[in-house]
Chain A
Amino acid sequence: MTTRVIANKTVAVNDEGFMINPAEWTKEIAVELAKEESLPELTPEHWKVIEFCRKDGLTSGKAPTLRRITSTAGVTTKEMFALFPKGPAKKVARISGLGKPEGCV
C-alpha cells in the first residue's frame, strides 16, 4: 500500500491507483482522478453516475458493476460509454474512490 497526494489530500492507494479507503474521497479528488482518466471536465451527467456509485459502493462495500449502474442508476449503456469512454466500469469506480468492480457483468 502506498499513499499519494490528490487535490491537497493524502490518501491511500493500491498499486493500480485505486483508492483503498472510500471515506477519504472528496469531490475535489474525483475531479483530479477524472483528469487522469482523460476526462478534463465532469458534467452533471458524470456526477449523477459518480454519486450513484458512491452511494451504492458505500452501502454494499464494493464498486457497482457496469450492468448494475445501467440497470439501476437511470443511465443507458450507450450513455455510460459516451460519458466514460474506453473502460467505463473501471474508470467510474476509480473516480468514485472505490475499488475495482468485482462482479463479471
Chain B
Amino acid sequence: MSDETRKIAFICSKGTLDMAYPALIMGWAALGNGIDVTVFFTFWGMDMITKDRVDHLELAPVGNTSMKMSMMGMHTGNLGIPNILGILPGMTAFATKLMKDKIAALEVPPVSEFLQMMADGGAKLYACKMSVDLMELKKEDFIDGVQAIVTAADFMDMTEGAQMVFI
C-alpha cells in the first residue's frame, strides 16, 4: 500500500431513492477500505440531506424504462410497470415501498441511517451553496452529518487529487 491516502469524492445531484444509494454504497465501501471520502450534495441531491425529505425519497415508475425488477417474488421478465399505469395515483408510493422493502431485505439501512454511518466513519458531507440559496434552505434544515455549506470552488479546493464520481 502506498503511503498517500487515496481520495474519492461523490457529487450527489439526484433526489430519487434509486439515485441516493450509489454514493452511499460506494462511499461506505471506500471508508471500509481506508479511502478518504467527501460527498457534495447539489440540486435534487439536497433532498438526501434535508431532514424533512430524507425519509421520504421516492421512486417513480413513470418514464423509468429500466424498472423491470421482480415484484413480490414474481419474475416479470421483460415486462415492467407500463407508463400508462405509472400515472395512476399511488403508483409512485407503490414502487417506492417495493424498492424500500427490497433494500431492507438485503439488510441495507435507510438513507438517513446510512448517511449517519458515513459521517461516523469519517466521510465529509457538504451542501452546495448555490442549491441552498436556490431552495431557500438553512444549515439547520440538514441532518447532523453535514459539516458545512460550501461553494463549488471550495469543493474543488477540498478535493484536490481525489477521484470524482458524479451521480
The residues of A that contact B117 with a CB separation of less than 8 Å are 67, 70, 77
A2-35 near B? 1/0 per residue, CB < 8 Å? 0000000000000000000000000000000000
Q: A66-B28, A81-B120 are in contact. List 7 more A-B contacts (CB 8 A).
A: A77-B120, A78-B120, A89-B32, A89-B33, A101-B32, A105-B28, A105-B106
Question: Does chain A have a CB within 8 A of B82?
Answer: no
Question: Does chain A have a CB within 8 A of B34?
Answer: yes
Question: Does chain A have a CB within 8 A of B78?
Answer: no
The residues of B that contact A88 with a CB separation of less than 8 Å are 32
A-facing residues in B20-48 (Cβ within 8 Å): 25, 28-29, 31-35
Q: Give the interface of B toward A (CB within 8 A).
A: 5, 25, 28-29, 31-35, 106-109, 116-117, 120-122
The one of B29, B108, B120 that contacts A76, using a Cβ cutoff of 8 Å: B120
13 contacts between A and B (CB under 8 A): A66-B28, A66-B32, A67-B117, A76-B120, A77-B117, A80-B121, A81-B31, A85-B34, A86-B34, A90-B33, A90-B34, A91-B34, A105-B107
Q: How many A-B residue pairs have CB under 8 A?
A: 48
| Bound: A76/B33 CA distance, A | 17
Q: Give the interface of A toward B (CB within 8 A).
A: 65-68, 70-71, 76-78, 80-81, 85-91, 101, 104-105
Give the shortest distance, in Å, between B32 (CB) and chain A (any CB).
Answer: 3
Give the shortest distance, in Å, between B162 (CB) and chain A (any CB).
Answer: 16
The residues of A that contact B29 with a CB separation of less than 8 Å are 104
In the complex formed, the residue of A with least CB distance to B34 is A87
In the complex formed, the residue of A with least CB distance to B24 is A105
Are B34 and A105 touching (Cβ within 8 A)? no
Are A105 and B122 touching (Cβ within 8 A)? no
Give the shortest distance, in Å, between A50 (CB) and chain B (any CB).
Answer: 16
In the complex formed, the residue of B with least CB distance to A85 is B34
Give the shortest distance, in Å, between A86 (CB) and chain B (any CB).
Answer: 4
| Bound: A90/B107 CA distance, A | 20
| Bound: A87/B28 CA distance, A | 10
| Bound: A88/B120 CA distance, A | 13
Give the shortest distance, in Å, between B35 (CB) and chain A (any CB).
Answer: 8
The residues of A that contact B121 with a CB separation of less than 8 Å are 77-78, 80-81
The residues of A that contact B116 with a CB separation of less than 8 Å are 77
| Bound: A78/B106 CA distance, A | 23
Contact A105-B33, Cβ < 8 Å, known A77-B117, A86-B5: no
The residues of A that contact B5 with a CB separation of less than 8 Å are 86
